[in-house]
C-alpha cells in the first residue's frame, strides 16, 4: 500500500468530516448518502466517453445539488421528495448506462488501488480547497444551520451559504467515491462526526474531534487492510463503526 493511497484517503476523510459536522447538525445524514448515488450516471457516461470518472461524478452531483436548490425554492415539492426522486432516477440511469459490471462494482464499493496520478493531484487540490473554504465560512454556515432567520437578520446571505454548502458536499462526495465507492461514501461524512458528538461538549470541540477521528479511521483501516488483506475502503468504514460503538459505551 503506497503512501499516496494513505494521503489521499486522509485528505478525503478530513474534508468529509469537517463538512459532516453540518450534515449531522442539519439532520441531513440520509441526504448525503442519497446524493452519493446521484454520481452513478455521471460516472457511467464518463467511462463511455473515456474521460476522468471524477469529472462525470462531479458533473452529475453538481446538476443534482443545483436542481435541488432551485426546485426547493421554485416548486411546492418537499426537499425529501425532490431528493428521493433524484435518488431513484440516478440508480436507474446508472444501471442503464454502465458499460460493464466490473466498473459498476468499482463505482459502488470504490477501488482506490486504481487511482491515477491525475486523481491524486485532483484530490490534493480540491480536498484542500474544501477544507479551507469550510474553515473560512465555518461561522456563517453554523449561523445558518442553527437559525437561518437570525443569520439573515445579521446580514448573512442564507441562500448563498446553503448553495456553497451543497457545492462543497457535491465535491467531497465526488472525491470520496474513488476511496470507498458510492455505497459507503456517505459514511465518511457521518461516522467521525457521530463519534465526536458522543464525546464533545461544544461545537468547536466536536469539529476538532471529528477531524481527529477521521484520521484515526483511515490509519486504523489501513492497518486492518494490511494485516487481513481486506479492501481499504471497507476497512476504513468498519474501523469507524467500531470506534462509534466504543464511543457509545464511553457515554454510558
For 44-80, give the DSSP string: HHHHHHT--HHHHHHHHHHHHHHHHHHHHHHSS--HH
The number of domains in the chain is 1
pLDDT at 217 over 90: yes
The per-residue pLDDT for range 180-211, each reduced to its tens digit, is 776 677 788 899 999 999 988 888 899 999 99
Least confident of 1-5, 79-83, 126-130: 79-83
User: CB burial class (10 A; 0-12, 13-18, 19+) of residue 57?
Assistant: buried
3-state DSSP assignment of residue 187:
helix
For residue 105, is pLDDT > 60?
yes
- Contact present, 60 and 38 (Cβ < 8 Å): yes
Range of the domain at 160: 3-251
DSSP state of 112: G
Report the distance separating Cα 152 and Cα 150, nearest Å. 5
> Which of residues 48 and 108 earns the better pLDDT score?
48
More confident residue, 85 or 233: 233
Residue 54 pLDDT level (bands cut at 50, 70, 90) = confident
Q: Which residues contact 113 (CB under 8 A, 6 or more apart)?
A: 5, 232
Rounded distance between C-alpha atoms, residue 231 and residue 224, angstroms: 9
Contact (CB, 8 A) for 141 and 24: no
CA dihedral 227, 232, 236, 241 (to 10 degrees): -80
**Range name among 51-55, 124-128, 210-214 with the lowest pLDDT average:** 51-55
User: Does the structure show a pLDDT above 90 at 69?
Assistant: no
Average pLDDT (109-126) is 81
252 band by pLDDT with thresholds 50, 70 and 90: very low
**Average pLDDT score over residue span 102-107:** 62
Residue 160 pLDDT > 60: yes
Question: Taking all residues of the chain, what is their mean pLDDT, rounded to a whole number?
Answer: 82
pLDDT at 191 (0 to 100):
92
Rg of the chain (C-alpha set): 18
| CATH number of domain containing 112 | 1.10.3470.10
Identify the pLDDT of residue 1. 58
Q: What is the mean pLDDT of residues 4-25?
A: 90
Amino acid at each position: 500500500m503506497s503512501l499516496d493511497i494513505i494521503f489521499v484517503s486522509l485528505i478525503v476523510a478530513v474534508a468529509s468530516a469537517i463538512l459532516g459536522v453540518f450534515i449531522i447538525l442539519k439532520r441531513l445524514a440520509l441526504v448525503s448518502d442519497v446524493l452519493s448515488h446521484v454520481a452513478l450516471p455521471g460516472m457511467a457516461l464518463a467511462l463511455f466517453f473515456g474521460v476522468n470518472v471524477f469529472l462525470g461524478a462531479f458533473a452529475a452531483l453538481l446538476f443534482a445539488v443545483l436542481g435541488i436548490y432551485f426546485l426547493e425554492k421554485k416548486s411546492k415539492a418537499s426537499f425529501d421528495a425532490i431528493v428521493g426522486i433524484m435518488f431513484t432516477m440516478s440508480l436507474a440511469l446508472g444501471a442503464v448506462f454502465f458499460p460493464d459490471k466490473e466498473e459498476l462494482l468499482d463505482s459502488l464499493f470504490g477501488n482506490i488501488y486504481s487511482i491515477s496520478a491525475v486523481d491524486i493531484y485532483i484530490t490534493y487540490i480540491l480536498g484542500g480547497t474544501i477544507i479551507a473554504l469550510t474553515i473560512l465560512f465555518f461561522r456563517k454556515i453554523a449561523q445558518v444551520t442553527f437559525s437561518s432567520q437570525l443569520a439573515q437578520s445579521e446580514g448573512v446571505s442564507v441562500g448563498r451559504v446553503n448553495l456553497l454548502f451543497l457545492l462543497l458536499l457535491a465535491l467531497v462526495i465526488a472525491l470520496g467515491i474513488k476511496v470507498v465507492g458510492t455505497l459507503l461514501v456517505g459514511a465518511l461524512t457521518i461516522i467521525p462526526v457521530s463519534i465526536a458528538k458522543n464525546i464533545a461538549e461544544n461545537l468547536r470541540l466536536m469539529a476538532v474531534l471529528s477531524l481527529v477521528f477521521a484520521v484515526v479511521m483511515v490509519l486504523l483501516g489501513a492497518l486492518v487492510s494490511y494485516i487481513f488483506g481486506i479492501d481499504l475502503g471497507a476497512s476504513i468504514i468498519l474501523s469507524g463503526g467500531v470506534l462509534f460503538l466504543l464511543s457509545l459505551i464511553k457515554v454510558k
